[in-house]
Structure 1
Amino acid sequence: MTDSNVLFASIPQVGARYRAGTLSPVEVTRAALARIQELDPGLNAFITVTADLALAQAARAEAELRAGTDRGPLHGIPVALKDLVDTAGVRTTCGSRLRSGHVPDHDAAVTVRLREAGAVLLGKTNLLEFAYGAVHPDYGQTNNPWDLSRTSGGSSGGSAAAVAAGLCFAAFGTDTGGSIRIPAAYCGVTGLKPTAGLVPLGGVFPLSWSLDHGGPLARSSGDAALMLAALTGQPVNAAPRDLRGVRFGVLEEHTRGPEMQPGVAEVFGRACDALRGAGAVLVEVQVPDLDLVDAALLPVLLPEASAVHAAWLRESPEAYAPATRRQLELGFTVGGVAHVRAQQFRHRLARDFLAALSGVEAMLTPTVPWVAPHEDPAVAGDQGSAEARRTAPANLTGFPALSLNAGFSAGLPVGLQVTTRPGEDALALSLGASLEALLGENRIPPPPAGTRPGERTTL
Structure 2
Amino acid sequence: MTAAALPFWSITELSEAIRRREVSPVTLTEAMLTRISELDAGLKSYQLVTPEHARAQAEAAEAELDRGQWRGPLHGVPIALKDLCFTKDIPTGGGMPIHAAQKPAFDATVTVRLAQAGAVLLGKLKMTEGAFSAHHPSIEAPRNPWAAERWTGSSSSGSGAATAAGLCFASLGSDTGGSIRFPSGACGLTGIKPTWGRVSRYGVMPLSDSLDHVGPMARNALDAGIVLGAIAGKDQNDPTSLPDPVPDYLTLGKAGSVKGLRIAYDPAYIMEGSDPAIVAALDAALAVLKDLGADVRVVPMPDWTDVLEGWTTYCAVETAYAHLATYPARASEYGPELKGLIDLGYATTGVEIARLQIARDVFKARLKAFFAEVDLMLAPVLTGPVPTLEQWANERSADVLTNVLKFTAPFDMAGNPTITLPGGFDANGVPIGLQLVGTHLSEALLVQAGAAFQRVTDWHLRHPKIG
* TM-score normalized with structure 2 length: 0.92
Whether 2:191 is the aligned partner of 1:191: answer yes
Residue type matched to 1:368 in 2? L
Q: CA deviation at 1:279?
A: 2.6
Question: Relative to structure 2, which stretch is displaced further, 181-190 or 270-279?
Answer: 270-279
Identity %: 38
1:291 Cα deviation after fit: 2.1
Alpha carbons 1:240, 1:433 under 8 Å: kept: no
1:407, 1:444 within 8 Å by CA — same for their partners in 2? Answer: no
CA distance in structure 2 between the aligned counterparts of 1:168 and 1:288, rounded to whole angstroms: 38
Query: Do residues 287 (structure 1) and 287 (structure 2) align?
Result: no
Choose which of 336, 344, 364 in structure 1 pairs with 2:358: 344
- Which string of whole-angstrom CA distances, capped at 9 and with x for unpartnered residues, describes residues 290-330 of structure 1? 22232221231111101121341222111111222122112
Tell me the distance in 1 between the aligned counterparts of 2:134 and 2:95. Answer: 10
Alpha-carbon distance, 1:443 to partner: 5.6
Match of 2:236 in 1: none
Q: CA deviation at 1:43?
A: 1.3
State the distance in 2 between where 1:288 and 1:85 align: 34
1:241 is aligned to 256
Tell me the secondary structure at the aligned position of residue 357 of structure 2.
helix
Aligned twin of 1:301:
315
1:253 aligns with 2:271: no
CA distance in 2, matches of 1:35, 1:386: 37
Aligned partner letter, 1:239: K
RMSD of aligned Cα (Å): 1.6
Alpha-carbon distance change, 350 to 335 in structure 1, aligned in 2, over 3 angstroms: same
When residues 373 and 123 of structure 1 are mapped into structure 2, their CA distance, relative to the original with a 3 A threshold, is same
Quick check: 1:163 aligned with 2:163? yes
Query: Partner of 1:310: helix, strand, or coil?
Result: coil
Which position in structure 2 is the counterpart of 1:201? 201
Shift of 1:385: 1.0
- CA distance in 1 between partners of 2:107 and 2:174 (Å): 16
State the distance in 2 between where 1:245 and 1:204 align.
38
- Any idea what the Cα deviations from partners look like across 1:158-187, whole Å, max 9, x if unmatched? 111111111111111111011101110111
Aligned to 1:324: 338
Residue 382 of structure 1 pairs with residue 364 of structure 2: no
Task: Give the structure-1-normalised TM-score.
Answer: 0.94
- The answer as to 2:70 corresponding to 1:70 is yes
Give the 3-state SS of the residue equivalent to 2:441 in structure 1: coil
Work out the CA distance in 2 between the residues paired with 1:288 and 1:404.
23
Within 1, Cα distance between the matches of 2:466 and 2:93?
31
Q: CA deviation at 1:240?
A: 5.2
CA distance in structure 2 between the aligned counterparts of 1:359 and 1:248, rounded to whole angstroms: 10
Deviates more, 1:343-352 or 1:42-51: 343-352
Partners in 1 of 2:282 and 2:461 — Cα distance?
A: 14
Whole-angstrom distance in 2 between the partners of 1:339 and 1:59: 51
Counting matched residue pairs gives 448
Whether 1:395 aligns to 2:412 is yes
Return the letter of the residue paired with 1:257. Answer: E
In the alignment, what sits opposite 2:134?
134
- 3-state SS of the aligned residue for 1:151? coil
Unmatched 5+ residue regions in structure 2?
234-245
Amino acid across the alignment from 2:136: H
The equivalences for 1:92-103 within 5 A come to: 92-103=92-103
Q: CA deviation at 1:27?
A: 1.4
Task: Flag the 1:79–1:444 CA change in 2: closer, same or farther, 3 A.
Answer: closer
> Quick check: 2:45–2:126 contact (8 Å CA) kept in 1?
yes
In 2: Cα distance, 1:347 partner to 1:333 partner: 23
Look up the equivalent residue of 2:146 and give its one-letter code: W
Counterparts of 1:215 and 1:227, CA distance in 2: 8
Q: Secondary structure at the match of 2:373?
A: coil
